[in-house]
Amino acid sequence: MKKFWNWTKNNETDKRTLHLYGAIAEESWFDDEVTPSAFREELVQGKGDIEVWINSPGGDCIAAAQIYNMLMEYPGDVTVKIDGIAASAASVIAMAGTEIQMSPTSLMMIHNPFTVAIGDSEEMKKTVHMLDEVKESIINAYEIKTSLSRNKLSELMDAETWLNAHKAIELGFADAIMFANGKDENQPENSFVFSRRAVTNSLINKIQKPQKGQSVDPLYERLNLLKY
């Protein structure tokens, strides 16, 4: 078992803090009963409200789903604080927060689940179906928190969307900005949302069509750059 979480406790207030830093379960929790049990045991060892600090690029969706469920079932308040990045599976865990706070410099990213598969065409079809169902399960968590439509959430995931703190609050993925100290947290006009699909399409549209008699080699070279 390789732990990717750590608990600390404030001796003065008895408040516990869960730190989720780095990849979520580098080894999948699929068909693993030991690691989830260890996480649950540590979670229920104490009582009262807890804080969950997240700085993670994501990881195993099975582990994320189980942690999300455990935190949702926890009887105390769960304050999630994103102080770096909550991407992919880590963003799902964040949705379990009673309140979700983001650092002014933090980011959240949501996208479609992906995997690696080997086999014939039937196996590939099964994998596609599995990924579709995983996506729907992730949308369930986002929908509960944000109240956005499933179609809108699906579009954001398709586009691999990055959100800064203000945009996350606007869309309902977060509730407050850390260190604001009561200052106005209203959405600024230039709030940041990055869509990989939108950027790629914009670049393609900006590439001029080759003129008659002009070599197309430079165009192909520029298109190939978009693959990386």
pLDDT at 77: 97
In 3D space, the residue among 44, 65, 43, 62 whose CA is nearest the CA of residue 52 turns out to be: 43
Same domain, 170 and 201: no
Is the model's pLDDT at 212 over the cut of 60?
A: no
**Percentage, residues of the chain above pLDDT 70:** 79
Same domain, 74 and 94: yes
For residue 209 the two structure tokens come to 């069509």
Same domain, 135 and 222: no
Same domain, 118 and 157: yes
- Of the two residues 58 and 27, the one the predictor is more confident about is 58
Is the model's pLDDT at 192 over the cut of 70?
A: no
Same domain, 178 and 208: no
DSSP codes joined into one string, 186-210 = PPPTT--EEEHHHHHHHHHHHSPPP
Domain membership of residue 207 as a residue range: 196-228
Same domain, 125 and 103: yes
Average the pLDDT over each of 24-38, 53-67, 91-105, 203-217 and give the range with the smallest value: 203-217
Task: Name the average pLDDT for the chain.
Answer: 86
Same domain, 169 and 223: no
For residue 200 the two structure tokens come to 């790629």
Q: Within 13 A of 205's CA, how many CA atoms are on the CB side? A: 6
Same domain, 142 and 82: yes
Same domain, 170 and 222: no
Same domain, 109 and 58: yes
Is the model's pLDDT at 210 over the cut of 70?
A: no
pTM, 2 dp: 0.80
Is the model's pLDDT at 201 over the cut of 70?
A: no
Per-residue pLDDT of 39-90, as tens digits, reads: 999 999 999 999 999 999 999 999 999 999 999 999 999 999 999 999 999 9
Query: Total domain count for the chain?
Result: 2
CATH number at residue 142: 3.90.226.10
Same domain, 130 and 182: yes
pLDDT at 156: 97
Same domain, 201 and 184: no
Place of tokens 């179906």: 129
